[in-house]
Amino acid sequence: MSQPSSNEVVLETHELVKHFPITRGIVFQKKIGAVRAVDGVDLQLRRGETLGVVGESGCGKSTLAKLLVGLEKPTSGAINVRGQDMTRLSGGELRKARRNIQMVLQDPYTSLNPRMTVGDIIGEPFDIHPEVVPAAERKQRVRELLDLVGLNPEHINRYPHQFSGGQRQRIGIARALALKPEIIVCDEPVSALDVSIQAQVINLLERLQDELGLSYIFIAHDLSVVRHIADRVAVMYLGKVVEIGVEDEIYERPTHPYTQALLSAVPVPDPTLRGQRDQIVLEGDVPSPANPPSGCRFRTRCWKAQDICASQEPALADREHSAHPSACHFAEERDVVHAVE
């Protein structure tokens, strides 16, 4: 929900790049190329804000999440959390900095260890960061966390298989909250859940944000869910952010052709609009990130593409016909969500 967020920036990435090498040979490995999973991403996250990141599979959104929480080391670029560059920290300092940025994973069925009790799962962060909560108070703290996410504190000794999908995702959220982080990276937190359960988890995330003043990076491929929860939205395509703006700007006045195509492809649950929506059906698939097109990466599927798109890469910037940053030479507003022919 759009609540006023302060202007204090809690997380900032600068020219963030992650290339995965492609090698040939077994003993003598030779690098023959690179998958450009994330290729120069600049983002800012403010206190109490939710930044939605959307895009299709392979666009680099999950790699971005892993970079932010330090599960992958970036090839280059910086991640500044409260003025500290996470990519330059190591040892105890890194460990301490990581407390501040935690993650909720996509699949609540595989991201919880089936051989650990819920209490152990949620309490495990305290083993790694023992100075946060004294040993004697840990159990109490775990109970509080269970209560906070709407689970019964009595269930502390149960195992993950005794919970439903929605409840497991609550356990995952409790684990992320254990170290009292300011920032939570949610990587597709509701996509494995049924619609009736999805709403419960979304409402929980919103309540926690209000109560604890959290900042979320909310990664999802479901554009309707992102619209519901995000204050600002970044659209990614092949490792780059192609358009970024507040939720209204992206959904009501998108200017990048990819955003327009993506939005127009989302089916709206209202049969009276059938056949009346402005649907843009893209041809073909996303090109390989190992060998992205020159210039604008979207030009191979774009209906506006001209020579300049192949030779010159459009920067993510405000443009003549776009009030918010859009990486397209021919950026122009087009309301695809409400358009009726």
Contact pick of 27, 136, 271, 307 for another protein (by CB under 8 A): 271
Q: Which of residues 235-254 bind another protein (CB under 8 A)?
A: 247-248, 251
221 binds another protein (CB under 8 A): yes
Among 9, 78, 94, 199, binds another protein (CB under 8 A): 199
Distance of CA 52 to the CA centre of its chain: 6
DSSP 27: S
Q: Which of residues 136-165 bind another protein (CB under 8 A)?
A: 164
Q: What b/e sequence results for 269-304 when a residue is b if at least 16 CB atoms lie within 10 Å of its CB, and e otherwise?
A: eeeeeeeebeebebeeebbebeebbebbbbbbbbeb
Write out the binding residues for another protein, residues 51-70 only, by CB under 8 A. 56-57
Question: Is residue 267 involved in binding another protein (CB under 8 A)?
Answer: yes
Question: Interface with another protein by CB under 8 A: which range of 14-22, 129-137, 223-231, 323-331?
Answer: 223-231
The binder of another protein chosen from 7, 28, 136, 272 (CB under 8 A): 272
Q: Provide the minimum distance between the beta carbon of 303 and another protein in the complex, in angstroms, as a whole number.
A: 13
Q: Which of 13, 106, 111, 198 binds another protein (CB under 8 A)?
A: 198
Binding-site member from 4, 154, 196, 341 for another protein (CB under 8 A): 196
Binding mask 279-318 for another protein (x = CB under 8 A): x-xx--xx--------------------------------
Decide: is 202 part of the binding site for another protein (CB under 8 A): yes
Q: Which stretch binds another protein (CB under 8 A): 16-24, 122-130, 151-159, 273-281?
A: 273-281
3-state secondary structure of 40: strand
* Angstrom distance (rounded) from CA 188 to CA 172: 12
Cα-based torsion angle of the residue sequence 275, 279, 283, 284 in order, rounded to the nearest 10 degrees:
-90
User: Tokens representing 278?
Assistant: 């402005």
DSSP state of 297: T
**Number of separate helices (H) and strands (E) present in the chain:** 10, 12
Binding another protein (rule: CB under 8 A), the pick from 80, 84, 100, 200 is: 200
Name the minimum Å distance from CB 172 to another protein: 17
Q: Does 1 bind another protein (CB under 8 A)?
A: yes
Nearer Cβ to another protein (142/225)? 225
Q: What are phi and psi of 76, to 5 degrees?
A: -155, 175
Q: How far apart are CA 119 and CA 112, in angstroms?
A: 12
Please identify, using beta-carbon distances, which residue of 233 and 327 lies nearer to another protein.
233
To 5 degrees, how large is the angle CA 227–CA 233–CA 234?
A: 140
DSSP per position, 307-320: HHHHHSPPPSEEET
Q: In the complex with another protein, which residue's Cβ is closer, 105 or 286?
A: 286
Q: How far is CA 192 from the centre of its chain?
A: 15
User: Taking the complex as a whole, how short is the minimal distance between the CB of residue 132 and another protein, in angstroms?
Assistant: 32
Q: Distance between CA 194 and CA 191 in Å, rounded?
A: 8
Binding residue for another protein, selected from 10, 217, 263, 296, defined by CB under 8 A: 263
Cα atoms found within 13 Å of the Cα of residue 204, Cβ hemisphere only: 24
**Helix or strand (DSSP H, E) at 85:** strand 84-85
Give the Cα-Cα-Cα angle 222, 288, 77 (nearest 5 degrees).
80
Which stretches of the chain bind another protein, using CB under 8 A? 1-2, 56-57, 164, 166, 194-200, 202-203, 221, 223-225, 227-228, 247-248, 251, 261-263, 265-274, 279, 281-282, 285-286, 337-338
